[in-house]
Amino acid sequence: MPSLYIYGNKDPVIIPAYLNHIESCFRSVDVASIDAGHFVNEEQPEEVAARLSEWLDS
């Protein structure tokens, strides 16, 4: 199942090793980094919506 993982690049919880693990857990995953902290959908709602819409249209 295709998946989209959106994360905030200022989130101290998300580390590169975790992103590598996410990519190994799914056959088809796209990873999107947004200029935000842990609550990416609250901090950058327009950017999250744009990335999600773009991904769904692809």
Q: Are the beta carbons of 14 and 8 closer than 8 angstroms? A: yes
What's the token pair of residue 10? 């200022």
Angstrom distance (rounded) from CA 29 to CA 27 = 6
Angstrom distance (rounded) from CA 3 to CA 39 = 19
Q: pLDDT tens across 45-55, in order?
A: 999 999 999 99
Q: Are the beta carbons of 1 and 30 closer than 8 angstroms? A: no
Q: pLDDT tens across 12-56, in order?
A: 998 888 888 888 888 899 999 999 999 999 999 999 999 999 999
Domain ranges of the chain: 3-57
Q: Is 39 helix (H, G, I), strand (E, B) or coil?
A: coil
